Amino acid sequence: AEEARLLELIAKTADLEEVLKVEQRLTQVRTELEAAHSQLEMYEKLVDYVAMDIKNTPEKYAKAIGLSKVPDGIFQSIRILMESGINYEFRTTVVKELHSKDDILAIAEYIRGAKQYYLQCFKDSGELIEDGYSAHDESTMKEMLKLVKPYVGVAGLRGMEE
């Protein structure tokens, strides 16, 4: 997508210096794409299954992991994984103070078409970065599950007391 946009900019630009800048960026984008493709091919040979945590929506991700900004590549990794031939699942540990129904729905929309997505009920391990976190009740977790089911192949709950 970025490559097509840059090619369009070249066609519209009359200034030679601007064309050179755009062409340089285009070369960089193509190199990044080739590197990502090579890396993906390597992973497909080495990995049988990937379970990837999605901590929160892009807007709330940094807070959920206790950082000031989201590490590079998190959301790109989601797309790469979904487009790969690797068997995978996504999962979110749902924390009452960090996740609303709207957040869970936004994550499901972001991963629309994913093979599997599991909502995991939060349990305090005693090793948290902050105190004051708790689990949603079973009813709320089941409502969240209903919200995500239309967006993914398989959706389920984990960690609920049976």
In tens, the pLDDT along 39-83 reads 777 766 777 889 999 999 988 988 888 888 888 788 888 998 898
Contact (CB, 8 A) for 119 and 148:
yes
Q: Which of 137, 111, 136, 97 is nearest to 54 (CA)?
A: 111
pLDDT digits (tens, 9 = 90+) for 117-156: 999 999 988 777 678 889 999 999 999 999 999 999 999 9
Sheet with 87-94: list strands edge to edge: 49-53, 87-94, 116-121, 154-158
Q: Who wins on pLDDT, 67 or 5?
A: 67
Beta bridge partners of 51: 89
pLDDT at 162: 46
Token duo for residue 154:
């398989």
Q: Who wins on pLDDT, 114 or 67?
A: 114
Token duo for residue 103:
């957040």
Burial 107-129 (b: 16+ CB within 10 A, else e): bbebbeebebbbbbbbeeeeeee
User: Tokens 């601007």 belong to which residue?
Assistant: 18
pLDDT at 107: 96
DSSP reduced 3-state for 136: coil
Other Cβ atoms less than 10 A from the Cβ of 28: the count is 12
